[in-house]
């Protein structure tokens, strides 16, 4: 009969602490206003708002125009995109606010970037009125247009995406939907977003798009971020149950392979390395239980 252990662990609390550490290391301190249960959502909301620094192809819409005063800034941003350089300095300064929800991004998956050249004391480029509106995936940057600050609900954005890259965005089209019975104005979209109501878009008769950015909850939070946070919470609970159910095997392995006898009372701490390796450590004996990779 397997030896019985008394196991103490709280992998979810460990997970929250790991995310707090990552936020602080990236320059986003988590103050006392953020409750522990809200940390994962804030973390994945920030991840969604950031643009990963990887080299991308630059695809420019046929309708694309840029004011002369912004052309140098546009060339600078375009070069950074192609090289895979960090674009954070071109994003909204509200990127530092973990509670902020970018409605344009959450709804339509569109980033807006400032086209200034000089960097101020805060680390951001000079703010510009005209902004680059673009969608990013892992390989491409889709340059939609240079538009004005406040053009967050202009359905022209989806029209440009549909007319230029229909294949790339086909997964967001609703199959079998022939059209919308109600046509909303851009102002309607703005007001409905503010109320937390999602609006489908129809840039062309019979072409109806679900939210390219994944959509938003009534709270304004990104549904993508909510689903990711909830998914990891389920995974962590399952991982903890797996370890608890198999602790006698881990204890046997520690004795046979490392000559370490675990005591009756075991405390385990979840650890996740920067490269995604997952393990549990027993602090007193320093025994490490390998648990695979972060999904």
- Helices assigned H by DSSP within 150-185: 156-164
Let me know: does 148 contact 129? Beta carbons within 8 Å.
Answer: yes
How far apart, in whole angstroms, are the C-alpha atoms of residue 76 and residue 292? 41
Let me know: does 108 contact 157? Beta carbons within 8 Å.
Answer: yes
How far apart, in whole angstroms, are the C-alpha atoms of residue 48 and residue 91? 12
Let me know: does 212 contact 218? Beta carbons within 8 Å.
Answer: no
Residue spans of the chain under pLDDT 50: 1
Q: State if pTM tops 0.85.
A: yes
pLDDT digits (tens, 9 = 90+) for 229-287: 999 999 999 999 998 888 877 767 667 666 666 666 788 899 999 999 999 888 877 77
């Amino acid at each position: 009969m397997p030896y019985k252990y008394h196991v103490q662990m709280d992998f979810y609390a460990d997970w929250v602490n790991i995310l707090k550490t990552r936020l602080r290391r990236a320059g986003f301190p988590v103050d006392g206003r953020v409750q522990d249960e809200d940390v994962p959502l804030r973390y994945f909301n920030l991840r969604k708002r950031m643009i990963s620094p990887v080299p991308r192809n630059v695809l420019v819409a046929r309708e694309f125009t840029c004011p002369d005063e912004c052309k140098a800034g546009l060339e600078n941003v375009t070069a950074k995109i192609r090289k895979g350089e960090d674009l954070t300095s071109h994003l909204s300064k509200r990127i530092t606010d973990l509670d902020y929800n970018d409605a344009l991004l959450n709804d339509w998956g569109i980033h807006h970037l400032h086209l200034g050249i000089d960097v101020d004391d805060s680390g951001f480029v000079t703010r510009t009125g005209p902004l680059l509106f673009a969608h990013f995936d892992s390989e491409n940057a889709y340059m939609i247009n240079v538009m004005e600050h406040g053009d967050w609900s202009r359905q022209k954005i989806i029209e440009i995406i549909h007319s230029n890259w229909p294949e790339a965005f086909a997964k967001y089209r609703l199959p079998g939907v022939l059209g919308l019975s109600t046509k909303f104005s851009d102002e309607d979209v703005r007001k409905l977003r503010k109320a937390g109501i999602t609006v489908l878009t129809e840039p062309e008769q019979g072409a109806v798009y679900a939210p390219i950015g994944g959509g938003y909850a009534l709270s304004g939070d990104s549904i993508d971020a909510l689903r990711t946070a909830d998914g990891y919470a389920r995974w962590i609970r399952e991982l903890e149950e797996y370890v608890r159910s198999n602790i006698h095997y881990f204890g046997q392995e520690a004795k046979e392979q490392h000559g370490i006898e675990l005591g009756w009372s075991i405390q385990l701490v979840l650890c996740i390395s920067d490269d995604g390796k997952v393990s549990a450590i027993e602090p007193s004996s320093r025994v490490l239980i390998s648990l695979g990779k972060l999904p």
